[in-house]
């Protein structure tokens, strides 16, 4: 009887260890996937939102349209997310000239501990830059 209870105890500890490893792995993979999804979506949405008419009229100044960025970002992000996670997207800062955006994505899994969800927060700051039309040296910049 004593050996049987020891074996049952070892099996239960093994199952609990697998459960903890599975939860930890989901959070780590979720964090990595969310970050890369945020990075790629932000870059693509910024390129989609570049106002080409303004670029041609101004002679090379890049301008990003707010509404086009927001629409493109949300559409692209929503089409790529995992349905088993809850997401909250915050666009913290958005400048049109020069194109700069700060986006924060909070995500959490369905698993809860003591009625509290454990969330992952990813934030990215992105600036859209271009090369200068002429070569500039440090001494020539005014």
pLDDT in tens, 71-95: 888 888 888 876 777 788 888 888 8
What was the pLDDT predicted at 42? 84
88 inside domain: yes
Give 5: exposed, middle or buried? Use CB within 10 Å, 0-12, 13-18, 19+: exposed
135 inside domain: no
Provide the H-helix boundaries in 1-142.
Answer: 2-48, 52-58, 66-80
59 inside domain: yes
Instruction: State the Cα torsion 34-92-47-68 to the nearest 10°.
Output: 110
- Greater model confidence, 26 or 102: 102
Q: Is the pLDDT of residue 142 over 50?
A: no
Cβ neighbours for 55, distance < 8 A, ≥ 6 positions apart: 61, 62, 63
Measured at the CA of 62, the angle between CA 124 and CA 60, to 5 degrees, comes to 150
What was the pLDDT predicted at 112? 59
117 pLDDT tier (thresholds 50, 70, 90): low
Secondary structure in 3-state letters for 77-96: HHHHCCCCEEEEEEEEEEEC
Q: Is the pLDDT of residue 129 over 60?
A: yes
Average pLDDT over residues 40-69: 82
Rounded mean pLDDT of the chain? 77
Average pLDDT over residues 58-76: 83
Q: Is the pLDDT of residue 139 over 70?
A: no
The total of structural domains in the chain comes to 1
3-state secondary structure of 115: coil
137 inside domain: no
pTM score over 0.75: no
Closest Cα partner for 84 from 34, 134, 20, 10? 34
What was the pLDDT predicted at 8? 84
Domain that holds residue 125: 2-130
136 inside domain: no
103 inside domain: yes
32 inside domain: yes
Task: Give 16-53 pLDDT, tens digit per residue.
Answer: 888 878 777 766 666 677 788 888 888 888 888 888 88
**Token representation of residue 26:** 């989901």
140 inside domain: no
């Amino acid at each position: 009887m004593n050996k049987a209870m020891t074996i049952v105890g070892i099996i239960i500890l093994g199952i609990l260890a697998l459960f903890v490893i599975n939860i930890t792995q989901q959070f780590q993979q979720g964090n990595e996937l969310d970050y890369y999804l945020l990075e790629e979506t932000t870059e693509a949405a910024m390129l989609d939102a570049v106002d080409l008419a303004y670029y041609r009229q101004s002679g090379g100044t890049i301008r990003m349209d707010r509404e086009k960025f927001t629409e493109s970002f949300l559409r692209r992000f929503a089409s790529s997310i995992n349905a088993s996670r809850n997401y909250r997207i915050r666009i913290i800062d958005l400048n049109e000239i020069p194109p700069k955006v700060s986006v924060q994505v909070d995500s959490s899994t369905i698993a809860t501990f003591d009625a509290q969800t454990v969330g992952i927060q990813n934030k990215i700051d992105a600036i859209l830059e271009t090369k200068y039309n002429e070569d500039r040296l440090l001494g020539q910049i005014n």
